[in-house]
Homo-oligomer: A and B are copies of this chain.
Amino acid sequence: MSEVKVGIIGATGYGGLELIRFLHNHSEVESIELFTSSDAGAIFSSKFGHLVAIQDQPLQEIEIDKLSKFDVVFTSTPSGVTSSLLPPLVGVGPKLIDLSGDYRLKDIRSYEKWYKKTAAPEHIVSESVYGLTEWNAQRIKESNLIANPGCYPTAVLLSILPLIKDRLIDSQNLIIDAKSGVSGAGNKPSQLTHFSEMNENFSIYKINEHQHIPEIEQAIEMFADVQTTISFNTHLVPMTRGILATTYAPILSGVTNKQLNDCLIESYKNHPFVRVVQDVSSLGTNRVKGSNYCDIFVKLDDRTNRATIVGVIDNLVKGAAGQAIQNMNVQFNLPETLGLDVIPLFI
């Protein structure tokens, strides 16, 4: 008995397309309507040939009245849009799940510094709940405004939070080296993402300056109760989907490889989308491609007494649309895996 009516703002972006892809197979979703800031009236499938005969409805203009009637509204827009778009919708009806960065940072001065944009109203930001599902389900269930986590923070936090919380690694010396497929840069063409210049080219970008840095630091404080300053860099991989984040952290005195692994296993034993990988010589993003899984791995390097911690996700799924739907499931008291129980593509 499907009964959730869904509105999607920003349907033409990659996050929006993935929401549509997964909600299509969600047994409790009754209807999906699509909204856009431009191009209202256009038939959606005329813009995206893969959706012909599947999603042939017209794009609608964004109007508060229309949006108020939905059970849930997902916003999948560039940063700097929902800061002004969402406030009129707060409290008027639908649950709101924002996939952008506009409601993640509690400190609005930090938002303005890292995003170089005007922040959302502080009292609304303060109400929003950070949607890292495995770590915040209780508050997500009770909230009407979810700040869905960034792609990099999801891969990083799920892999390191248990180890920090259990005081197995030194949270004051975290070096996080993250790598992402190009879809994370969105659907807008640019010189950087022009095929001939991105293909066969691995690059580092936004060196020391990625806006996900304060998000990760805030979440570490929120969930593991320690303040820290991280080293964090991001790289673009010439592939479309996938994030792999490698974290280096000194272990605290006497901690063993088994303790590190046991901690991860114990932390996620009731969380179907987080899988602790063991006994492998290599692991890659194809383990989770197209799925909502986050695979994590830890190994103690006993030469250096540092732990090597790895998290892999599909940036568009667990790092965006998948986790957003997982949060919707939690908000509506549905099984967390509903609509998301698909096998990774692997190839």
Contact = CB atoms under 8 A, between A and B. Distances in A.
A285 B50 CA distance: 9
Interface stretch (A67-75, A96-104, A128-136, A183-191): A183-191
A208 to B, nearest CB: 4
A50 B282 CA distance: 13
A240 B200 CA distance: 7
Nearest to A25: B342
B289 A50 contact: yes
A108 interface: no
Interface stretch (A13-21, A58-66, A327-335): A13-21
A22 B182 CA distance: 27
Interface stretch (A85-93, A140-148, A156-164, A241-249): A241-249
A169 interface: no
Interface stretch (A34-42, A76-84, A118-126, A228-236): A228-236
A270 interface: no
A232 to B, nearest CB: 9
B280 A49 contact: yes
Nearest to A306: B231
Interface stretch (A1-9, A218-226, A296-304): A296-304
Interface string A176-213: 01010111010111111111111111111111100001
A343 B21 contact: yes
Interface of A: 14, 17, 20-21, 24-25, 48-55, 175, 177, 179, 181-183, 185, 187-208, 213, 229-231, 233, 235-242, 244, 246, 248, 272, 275, 277, 280-291, 295, 297, 299, 301, 303-304, 306, 308, 310, 316, 341-347
A342 B24 contact: yes
Contacts of A283: 49, 203-204
B240 A285 contact: no
Given A50-B289, A277-B49, A201 B284 contact: yes
A94 to B, nearest CB: 23
Contacts of A304: 229-231
B282 A192 contact: yes
A89 B209 CA distance: 49
Contacts of A295: 49, 52
A72 B301 CA distance: 41
A260 to B, nearest CB: 13
A203 to B, nearest CB: 3
A240 B195 contact: yes
Nearest to A191: B189
